[in-house]
Amino acid sequence: MTDHIKKLERKLVRLQIICTLMVFATGMVLLSGFVSQDKKRFDQIDVERINIIEKDGTLRMTISNKERSPEPLFKGKPFGLKGGNRTGLIFFNEEETEVGGLIFSGKTNANGKYSASGHLSFDQHNQNQTLYLSYGDQNGNRKTGLNIDDWQDSPAFSEWNQQYHQAAKITNEEERNKKIKQLIEPRPGEPAFAKRVFVGRDEQKKATVMLADRAGKPRLRLSVDTAGVAKIDFLDEKGNVTYSLPDSADQRIK
């Protein structure tokens, strides 16, 4: 009887040792998981979308394919524009409002013609893009450069965009055009948005610098064409050239 009890005691001791080792091993695994959760290394990862968030869950940036790209957000809420149509990075500010991004595309159709684009933009606060690099190419008809736009301060772009789409649904043509015109130019000579600066290469293959007034009308244009001819044009508000360098008199002297 004594021997039997001793055997049981030895088995219990072994069992205790095994349980202790299992608890220790499990603890080490869990501890290593907690220690390494803030830093992981991958040789390769295939994903359709990555969300960069703050500790409180606020969305700050997405990296995604075309299908999973987010809807444009204003303070964390969509305002009518569709998502799922742009591959790249989209930026959001502390209020979870979209503030720009980097997107790109390029493909060749069945007829052998191609289209390609690249776009890096930064938005005015609560408005649309105000500074951006753009590349657009329709089978060789391309334009690329630096753009600077003006946007009105209010209403916010989300509200303005909703008003514009509501106006576009007005069945009466005269009323529809009147409402859209009011949105495009809420005050005489001060449109809701206007292109002020372009520096780049235009569709005519000219290296160009264009400066426009507050209404978005080009007033100064510097260019160098494909033959290497440099020119400076001054324009009035109607787009008419009022003075050029070199002017016609200089050209006749030469």
| pLDDT tens digit sequence for 96-149 | 999 999 999 999 999 999 999 999 999 999 999 999 999 999 999 999 999 999
Q: Supply the pLDDT for residue 28.
A: 63
Out of 177, 195, 213, pick the residue that ends a domain. Answer: 195
Q: Please report whether residue 31 resides in a domain.
A: no
The whole-angstrom separation of Cα 23 and Cα 16 is: 10
Find where tokens 């295939």 sit.
46
pLDDT of 225 reads 95
Beta carbons within 8 Å of 80's beta carbon, 6+ residues apart:
158, 161, 162, 165
Q: Which domain holds residue 117?
A: 49-195
Do 83 and 159 fall into the same domain? yes
Same domain for 139 and 237?
Answer: no
Instruction: Please tell me whether residues 145 and 165 are part of one structural domain.
Output: yes
- Give yes or no: residues 114 and 144 share one domain: yes
pTM flag (> 0.85) = no
For 33-88, the DSSP string reads HHHHTT----S----SEEEEE-TT--EEEEEE-STTPPPPEETTEE-S---S--EE
Is 8 part of a structural domain of the chain? no
Task: Examine the domain organization and report whether 202 and 91 are in the same domain.
Answer: no
Q: Is residue 12 part of a domain?
A: no
Do 78 and 111 belong together in one domain?
yes
Q: 200 and 120 in one domain?
A: no
User: Are residues 224 and 131 located together in one domain of the fold?
Assistant: no
pLDDT for the residue numbered 222 = 97
C-beta of residue 243 within 8 angstroms of C-beta of residue 234: yes
Could you tell me if 184 and 239 lie in one domain?
no
State how far the Cα of 237 lies from the Cα of 215, in Å rounded to an integer.
Answer: 9
User: Exposed, middle or buried, 172 (CB in 10 Å: 0-12/13-18/19+)?
Assistant: exposed
Nearest CA-CA partner of 78 in 66, 90, 87: 90
Per the structure, the count of domains in the chain is: 2
Q: Are residues 57 and 106 in the same domain?
A: yes
Residues 119 and 188 in one domain: yes
Question: 25 lies in a domain?
Answer: no
Residue 18 covered by a domain: no
Report the pLDDT value the prediction gives residue 188, as an integer from 0 to 100.
85
pLDDT at 24: 63
In a domain, 6, yes or no: no
In the predicted model, residues of the chain with pLDDT beneath 70 are: 1-38, 248-254
* Tokens 């105000």 found at: 130
- Residue 112 in domain: yes
Is residue 174 in some structural domain? yes
Domain boundary among 175, 195, 215: 195
Does residue 162 sit in helix, strand or coil? Answer: helix
Tell which of 195, 225, 240 closes a domain. 195
Residues 134 and 234 in one domain: no
- The whole-number pLDDT of residue 4 equals 58
Give pLDDT, residue 36: 54
pLDDT over 70 for what percent of the chain?
A: 82
